Amino acid sequence: MDAALRQFVRRRADNHCEYCSLPQEREPLIFHIEHILPRQHGGTDTPANLALACHHCNLRKGTNLAGLDPETRVLTRMFHPRLDDWDEHFTDDDGEITGRTAIGRATTHLLRMNEGGRLELRAGR
Ligand SMILES: [Zn+2]
């Protein structure tokens, strides 16, 4: 993956984590260029398979493709930043991310978006 492609992904995401919406400026660790479909599952370096992710989201996502909806315990695919609309699946209330849909709930839960100080970091506190 070359520097131009990395820069393209960062710009397309407006320097926000495409999962939890954290802006890069609030996080000292440089965000990762993440494979939406992990390489382990055949994912490639094409722009359509890449997303910008904070280290917290990327490390928890790992090679997961799905998670359990904490409300129904039904296996549900992860949020896909290229195919899904963030506002359809999540709300951000002063930094607290809540899933609006099964996909949003499963992704919020799997990535533990509101744990470990992430909520405060997003809210700028
Ligand atoms: Zn994130």
Ligand 1 centroid from CA 73, angstroms: 23
Q: What is the average pLDDT across 56-67?
A: 96
pLDDT > 90? residue 35:
yes
C-alpha to C-alpha distance for 62 and 67, rounded to whole angstroms: 12
Token pair, residue 55, equals 């280290």
CA distance 57 to 51: 11
* Domain assignment of residue 30, given as a range: 3-123
pLDDT surpassing 90 at residue 1: no
pLDDT score of 45: 96
DSSP secondary structure letter of residue 26: G
Number of domains in the chain: 1
Mean pLDDT calculated for residue range 48-75: 97
Query: Ligand 1 centre and the CA of 26: distance in Å?
Result: 11
Residue with tokens 């997003």: 122
What's the 120 CA to ligand 1 centre distance in angstroms?
Answer: 13
Cα(46)–Cα(49) distance, integer angstroms: 5
